[in-house]
Amino acid sequence: MEHNLILVFILGGALCFLAQLLIDLTRLTPARILVIYVCLGVFLYAVGIYEPLFDIFGCGASLPLIGFGANIGRGVFEAVNEKGIIGILEGGLSASALGITAALVLGFLASVIFRSKTKRM
């Protein structure tokens, strides 16, 4: 595992660059961008591009939300191999459980501990 740091920066940056273009030039909302990126991640894994992408770009591929999608893809792939048809339904959520649970639990804790402040200009 030796990811070139410059390449990590470039792919991570490029994915954000593209998203910003989509937000500013089209009327796609940030929530839609996130959905598109997750689906894109599943697709990239399915067609076998994601794994080599990760080998070269490391966190530049895994931290953007396509990494989250690719996790779902990998989960489905491995579960179908292992358990057959059941894996179609089981794989996605179990592979992405870590991120989802962490985000939800931390979000809940934050709502207990912190209070929203008004927006500032």
- Kindly identify the residues of this chain, within the stretch 33-92, that bind other proteins according to CB under 8 A: 33-35, 37-39, 41-43, 45-46, 58-60, 62-65, 67-69, 72-73, 75-77, 79-81, 84-85, 87-89, 91-92
CB of 49 to other proteins, least distance (A): 13
CB of 45 to other proteins, least distance (A): 8
Considering only 49, 51, 82, 108, the residue that binds other proteins (CB under 8 A) is: 108
Q: How many residues sit in the footprint of other proteins (CB under 8 A)?
A: 81
How far are the Cα atoms of 7, 62, 106, 111 from residue 103, in angstroms, in the given order? 27, 16, 5, 12
Rounded to 5 degrees, what angle do the CA atoms 21, 27, 29 make? Answer: 85
The pair of three-digit structure tokens given for residue 90, joined into one six-digit string = 């089981």
Residue 91: HSE in the Cβ half-sphere, 13 Å Cα cutoff: 21
